[in-house]
Amino acid sequence: MNNQTTTGPAHVRTLAVDIGGSGVKASVLNQQGEMVADRVRIDTPYPCPPATLVSTIEQVVSGMRDVHRASVGFPGLVRGGYVVEVPSLSRREYDGELDPELTAAWAGFDLGGTLAKTFEVPTKVVNDADMQGCAVVKGGGLEFVMTLGTGVGTALFYDSKLLPHLELSHGRFSRQLTIDKALGNVELKNIGNKEWAERVKACVDIFAEMLWFDHIYIGGGNARLLKDSQFGPKTTIISNSAGIIGGVRVWELDQQ
């Protein structure tokens, strides 16, 4: 986490949950964004309708209930705590095809309200890229976050304010592929690390022309395959742990 100060009482403990297409992770953070409990991870089960995800989260956080609030990063579009869509969890198997029944089950699901009842504390649910970005942005103009995992997540910040979430990775990389699919796990396996890294650089250029960002942060589980030297001075590769430690600052930076 960066060295900006945080607000709120020093005793506040935040339960931070990072939901991914391959794993569900959680820890407890102090007000400085430091983990004060061992991180716990469970593989994301498939198929994963809402009830299955909620029970999986309950398992992950079973020893982390002495908290004052909860932050949840979710790998899809969430507005006001309600799921709009989540491609990665709308499949019956990891990297499988979208399933209409699962897609319908997730659409409109009140994840924020359900988890608030489960945790019995105030709960904020945001896109997982939004939560990662909260851990690293520095407040310098327009900052863009891109996460690389099962698919591609994006987040935008302006002067340390989290802007409304947009699924920017659904834009086109080619006639056949969206950016989300071009940089996702399936294509990474198909084309190999070297060509995939070239695609990442090409997509950074696409986003640069689209957004004119002042800085881009690249995170997610597959960011480990990249090096800062492959990109220009406006790019920073960030640790995947940001998906958890952003759980404190999301309460300050999220204006929604």
Q: Encode pLDDT of 183-232 as tens digits.
A: 999 999 999 999 999 999 999 999 999 999 999 999 998 999 999 889 99
Within a domain: residue 252? Answer: no
Neighbours of 3 (CB within 10 A): 6
Task: Please work out, in degrees rounded to the nearest 5, the angle formed at the alpha carbon of residue 178 by the alpha carbons of 175 and 182.
Answer: 100
Regarding whether 197 and 120 lie in a shared domain, the answer is no
Q: Do the domain assignments include residue 59? A: yes
β-strands 142-148, 123-127 pairing: unpaired
What is the mean pLDDT of the segment spanning 143-167? 94
Mean pLDDT along residues 35-47: 95
DSSP string, 9-38: -TT--EEEEEE-SSEEEEEEE-TTS-B-S-
- Are 141 and 229 part of one and the same domain? yes
Q: How many domains does the chain have?
A: 2
CA angle (248, 15, 25) in 5-degree steps: 105
Q: pLDDT for 90-149, tens place per residue?
A: 999 998 899 999 999 999 999 999 999 999 999 999 999 999 999 999 988 999 999 999
Distance in angstroms (rounded) separating the CA atoms of residues 2 and 32: 10
3-state SS assignment for residue 150 = coil
Claim to verify: residue 46 and residue 135 sit in the same structural domain: no
Q: Is the pLDDT of residue 83 over 70?
A: yes
Within this chain, do residues 100 and 176 fall inside the same structural domain, yes or no?
Answer: no
**Of residues 69 and 253, which shows the higher confidence score?**
69
pTM, 2 dp:
0.88
Confidence of residue 241 (pLDDT cuts 50, 70, 90): confident
Together in a domain, 143 and 75: no
Q: Are residues 105 and 139 in the same domain?
A: no
Cβ within 8 Å of residue 185, ≥6 positions away: 21, 95, 149, 150, 151, 222
The CA radius of gyration of the chain, in Å to the nearest whole number, is: 17
* 3-class DSSP assignment, residue 73: strand
pLDDT tens per residue across span 44-60: 999 999 999 999 999 99
Q: Is the bond into 122 cis (omega within 30 degrees of 0)? A: no
Whether the pLDDT of residue 4 is over 70: the answer is no
Task: Out of 128, 162, 190, pick the residue that ends a domain.
Answer: 128
Cα–Cα distance list, 114 to 51, 58, 83, 211 (Å) = 10, 11, 12, 35
Q: Please write the tens of the pLDDT for every residue from 169-184.
A: 999 999 999 999 999 9
Range(s) of the domain holding residue 149: 130-244
Are residues 226 and 142 located together in one domain of the fold? Answer: yes
Q: Are 72 and 124 in contact (CB under 8 A)?
A: yes
Residues 161 and 112 occupy one common structural domain:
no
Q: Note whether 60 and 24 are same-domain residues.
A: yes
Q: Sort strands 161-162 and 215-219 into parallel, antiparallel or unpaired.
A: unpaired
Residue 1 pLDDT greater than 70, yes or no: no
77 and 50 co-located in one domain = yes
Residue 8 has pLDDT above 90, yes or no: no
Q: Show Cβ contacts of residue 91 under 8 Å, excluding neighbours closer than 6 positions.
A: 46, 47, 97, 98, 99, 102
- Residue 3: pLDDT above 80? no
**The pLDDT value given to residue 17:** 97
Please say whether the beta carbons of 128 and 153 come within 8 A: yes
Which uninterrupted H or E stretch holds 125?
Answer: strand 123-127
Residue-level pLDDT at 217: 96
